[in-house]
Amino acid sequence: MKNVKERKLYSLKEITRQLGGEVVGDGLVDIEQVATLDQATPRQITFLASQKYRKLLADTRAAAVIVGRDDAQSTALPRIVCDDPYVYFARVSALLNPPQLPPAGIHPSAVISPDAKIAASASVDALTVVGKNVSIGAGCVIGAGCVIGDNVTLGAGSKLYPRVVIYADCVIGARAILHSGCVIGADGFGLAMVGETGNGHWLKIPQIGRAVLGDDVEIGANTTVDRGALGDTVIEDGVKIDNQVQVAHNVRIGAHTAIAGCVGIAGSATIGRYCKIGGAASILGHLEIADHADISAGTLITKSITEAGVYTGVYPFAPHAAWLKNSVHLRHLHELAQRLKQLEKKLLDKSGNRS
């Protein structure tokens, strides 16, 4: 990463010239980095995207602020007024922090199959292994210690951080980002019990499908995407998956869905487009999730979701003693419901109408 002295400075006018928005105040203020309201220093730009942080605006030391149109007059600091401050902040951050690309070429310690096709503009770092008939597109960056199996296709502009593993025959689209430790195309958990349960043994079912990732997909560190048992596991364009997520065999995830850390998705589940799945949620196998469904953190999905909306199923935490008492009542909920029905029936029999 470049140090502060080497950073390119952008004035507010230059930023809006490239990204749009309206400057209010001194447009010649120079910006070198982004920061939060409470941590910003002079020559940094911050943003106000949520009203719960408004109290920090008066004391920020930032050189400038990104605000929405409703907050255009909320500060005397130089500011950029836009429709969506959070999205605008993301674009400013990308402008101020461009990726540092390594030089093209293949490190001498990399082990490359003679028939692999690697674009001249790609970079392959130390101790990487590239298998037979692999195709690596223009501008790809392969970090140290990656293993790319036979017949893998890696689209142009993709980046693999160190120690990514892609099993044979998988397809990765253009501009993918695969973080360290993620594994694409490992065997799904396909087993058949031979003999009686408890007295037999498991027979492994060969997993002969692939894992196929579309364009602009990002996969977090130590996330696993299993290959299909027969057909393919498919991650469509623009999907963003956080760290330590398990995607089982034959899952399909629709375009532009975002999945937070520690989610588990069982085999053959189908998740729609533009869904948002909170951390540690679990989705059982062979279910279908509609487009635009939002699943809250920690929710267990046990049946298909057919309509867009927000779905939550989290048992609330409480002091342990209170939780134990509540769990006892929950265990007897069906019994209590039956007793309530009996009481209602008795009241109806006595009065002829409900009380």
Catalytic residue among 107, 201, 249, 286: 249
The residue written with tokens 């070429």 in the block is 105
Pair of tokens at residue 306: 């057919």
- Rounded CA gap, 15 and 62, in Å? 16
For 12, the 3-state DSSP assignment is helix
Q: State the number of CA atoms in the 13 A half-sphere of 108 facing the CB.
A: 0
Residue 249 annotated to the active site: yes
Give dist(CA 82, CA 78) in Å, integer.
Answer: 13
Distance CA 268, CA 285 (A): 6
Return the residue matching tokens 């970079």.
123
Contact present, 291 and 274 (Cβ < 8 Å): yes
CA angle 175, 179, 184 (to 5 degrees): 80
**Strand-pair category, 171-172 with 211-213:** parallel
State the Cα–Cα distance between residues 264 and 223, nearest whole angstrom.
10
Q: State how far the Cα of 305 lies from the Cα of 290, in Å rounded to an integer.
A: 6
Q: Are strands 153-154 and 171-172 parallel, antiparallel or unpaired?
A: parallel
If DSSP states are collapsed to H, E and C, what string results for 44-107?
Answer: EEEECCCHHHHHHHHHCCCCEEEEEHHHCCCCCCCEEEECCHHHHHHHHHHHHCCCCCCCCEEC
Rounded-to-integer distance, Cα 344 and Cα 346, Å? 5
Question: Which residues are annotated as catalytic?
Answer: 249
